[in-house]
Amino acid sequence: MAFAPSELKVTSPAFEHHRTIPEKHSGEGDDVSPALAWENPPEGTQGFAVICHDPDAPLIQHGTYGFVHWSLYNLSADTLALEENTAVGTSGKNDGGDIGYKGPLPPEGHGKHHYYFWVLALDCHTSLPSGLTLVELLKEVEPHLLGMSRLIGTYQRA
């Protein structure tokens, strides 16, 4: 993924940066996406995309490492927050093969994993189809990337 630093700040009422993601948002719980919010998008922002990725997953897929838990795109510039279990936007395919959010569920005995909730600010509003993989999504949005930031949560299987 390209790197575009900015003043964009990502938060969640469900967990603080580098803190534990509640079980409710995991594969052991209700498996619902957490609420997210962001502020200070770069000037010229016309849309957003959101990605949740676990770089600690012991898998290599599609030539990349880790596990993609969620991609959400086609978010308009006035979308500065997502409710829990959001229905806003268009969902891509996670690495479990499903469309939509797939909560944290590290392999048993694998310890604590880190989950990067990336928010990407784009210079255009996208109208991409549902079910894109992360590689397909990034191919479309990277040329339009103005800025990005992330919120990192952790989760360890009970």
User: Which tens digits make up the pLDDT trace of 24-57?
Assistant: 999 999 999 999 999 999 999 999 999 999 999 8
Asked, for residue 1, whether it belongs to a domain, the answer is: no
Q: What is the pLDDT of residue 79?
A: 98
Examine the pLDDT at 2 and tell me if it is beyond 90. Answer: no
Asked, for residue 4, whether it belongs to a domain, the answer is: no
Q: How confident is the model at residue 158 (pLDDT cuts 50, 70, 90)?
A: confident
* Contact indicator for 47, 125 with CB cutoff of 8 Å: yes
Q: Which helix (H) or strand (E) holds 141?
A: helix 134-141
- Which residue range(s) make up the domain with 83? 9-155
- Cα–Cα dist 101/139, whole Å: 20
Asked, for residue 3, whether it belongs to a domain, the answer is: no
Q: What is the mean pLDDT of residues 58-76?
A: 84
DSSP 19-77: EEPPGGGSTTTT--PPPEEEE-PPTT--EEEEEEEETTSS-EETTEESEEEEEEEEEET
Asked, for residue 106, whether it belongs to a domain, the answer is: yes
Examine the pLDDT at 5 and tell me if it is beyond 90. Answer: no
Query: What is the total count of domains within the chain?
Result: 1
Asked, for residue 2, whether it belongs to a domain, the answer is: no
Examine the pLDDT at 1 and tell me if it is beyond 60. Answer: no
Per the listing, tokens 């079980």 go with: 23
Q: What is the pLDDT of residue 87?
A: 95
Q: Residue 108: give its domain's CATH number.
A: 3.90.280.10
Q: What is the pLDDT of residue 89?
A: 98
Asked, for residue 149, whether it belongs to a domain, the answer is: yes
Q: What is the pTM of this model?
A: 0.94
- Cα–Cα dist 3/136, whole Å: 17
